[in-house]
Amino acid sequence: MQLELSPADAEFRARMREFFTTKVPQEIRDTVLDGRHLTRDQIVESQRVLNAEGLAVPHWPTEWGGQDWTDLQRHLWHEEMQRAGVPIPLAFNASMIGPVIAQFGTEEQKARFLPDTANLDIWWSQGFSEPDAGSDLASLRTTAVRDGDDWVVNGQKTWTTLGQHGDWIFTLVRTDPEVKKQAGISMLLIDMTTPGVEVRPIELIDGGHEVNEVWFTDVRVPGDLLVGEPGQGWTIAKFLLGNERVGVAPVGATKRALAGLKTVAAAQMEDPMVRARVAELENQLLALELTALRVVAHSAGGEPHPASSVLKLRGTELQQAVSELALDLAGPASLASRADEDSPQEGWARRSAPTYLNFRKASIYGGSNEIQRQIISRTILGL
């Protein structure tokens, strides 16, 4: 056992820190550091800066822009990005569909999609969930029926994050209603400008528009846009969701948010009750960060460390707890959440209630925390 980073890893971390803090536009980083909303253009610009340096998709196979890093290096990359306020590369592209196409796609699909996906020339959306298929994703009903070389898609997806910006959507569709429900699912890539695709906004409790319904009415999808084999969709989805959970504990961003509160609410740091809450959260975040390090230091090459399920569960709980503290520190100022920019209330305080409400999502999506408890109790504890 040894605590220090090796000289090579320390040098790696310094290199990441240097790049992120000097090459990604300050304006974009300030937006993240202040907790304001990024525009589509800012997200795209930032990812392109990273991609030009080979830092947007380091976990992909090297032939498609990956870096062959150790898990620890990936962890350091991810943490330093959050610390510097650099937007994490769009998850739908970098963590979800990219690795899927690299693993299951045809050579033609790889060449056609991977470079554009890495560079965010294509903005992907994730079309998995449906009104009646959430945690029980395999019960999805959107159908794709063969017609000549094409598939004809009908149905409805929901909760499609940032679907209003989406160029393409990767979907799970039912291609065989006769077999066991998992076996009848396939994955299709759909151009969102195809006739019959309609995106409708959903307003969330924070007043924001980040999710959508996506409707498919007789949408014709060319046969070469099927990923893998018909009926392989469930296997592909499990692969994708496994990746989705990696790096899902936003330790760096949560630490930064908590440190920020100590500055913006400096006067309240005299209150022993507040100090105790901050100290408790800092300790819990340290334990979580160390657990993330234990997991990456362990998983070199082999099976993921069993404690990795702890990361999503606890990471989202702490993210939510810090947003609760911000709301409590803001107090009456938090009522001004929909006031104009020239409000006399400070920005962090005005954003505290929407942020608190918005982060309730963290324990629901990406495999809800109940589903994480299920994974721990079944697969780790054998219950």
Ligand X SMILES: Cc1cc2nc3c(=O)[nH]c(=O)nc-3n(C[C@H](O)[C@H](O)[C@H](O)COP(=O)(O)OP(=O)(O)OC[C@H]3O[C@@H](n4cnc5c(N)ncnc54)[C@H](O)[C@@H]3O)c2cc1C
Residues marked active site are found at: 244
Name beta bridge partners: 338: none
Interface with other proteins in residues 217-256 (CB under 8 A): 255-256
Closest listed residue to residue 55, CA positions, set 30, 83, 87: 87
Name beta bridge partners: 221: 151
CA–CA gap between residue 27 and residue 41 (Å, rounded)? 12
Q: Which residue has the tokens 């040894």?
A: 2
Contact 283, 264 (CB under 8 A): no
Q: Which residue has the tokens 């803090």?
A: 21
287 touches which of ligand X, other proteins, none (CB within 5 to 8 A by kind)?
other proteins
CA–CA gap between residue 130 and residue 213 (Å, rounded)? 9
CA–CA gap between residue 254 and residue 323 (Å, rounded)? 9
Instruction: State the minimum distance, in angstroms, from the CB of residue 61 to ligand X.
Output: 25
Instruction: State the minimum distance, in angstroms, from the CB of residue 383 to other proteins.
Output: 4
Buried/exposed 337-350: b ≥16 CB within 10 Å, e otherwise: beeeeeeebeebbb
Smaller CB distance to ligand X: residue 150 or 191?
191
Closest listed residue to residue 113, CA positions, set 44, 161, 158, 65: 65
> What string marks each residue from 343 to 382 as x (binds ligand X by CB under 6 A) or -?
------------------x--xx--x-xx--x--------
Interface with other proteins in residues 55-74 (CB under 8 A): 72
288 touches which of other proteins, ligand X, none (CB within 5 to 8 A by kind)?
other proteins
Tokens representing 142?
A: 């959107």
Contact 343, 336 (CB under 8 A): yes
Instruction: State the minimum distance, in angstroms, from the CB of residue 76 to ligand X.
Output: 27
Smaller CB distance to other proteins: residue 62 or 283?
283
Q: Could you tell me whether strands 211-222 and 197-202 are parallel, antiparallel, or unpaired per DSSP bridges?
A: antiparallel
Q: Binding other proteins by CB under 8 A: which of 284, 345, 358, 368? A: 284
Q: Binding ligand X by CB under 6 A: which of 154, 161, 268, 343? A: 161
Stretch of 31-39, 129-137, 175-183, 264-272 lying at the interface with ligand X (CB under 6 A): 129-137
Q: Which residue has the tokens 């009908």?
A: 154
365 touches which of other proteins, ligand X, none (CB within 5 to 8 A by kind)?
ligand X
Residues forming contacts to other proteins in the complex (CB under 8 A) are 1-6, 9, 72, 255-256, 259, 262, 266, 269, 272, 275-276, 278-280, 282-291, 293-294, 297-298, 307, 310, 313-314, 370, 372-374, 376-378, 380-383
Residues forming contacts to ligand X in the complex (CB under 6 A) are 126-129, 134-135, 159-161, 211, 361, 364-365, 368, 370-371, 374
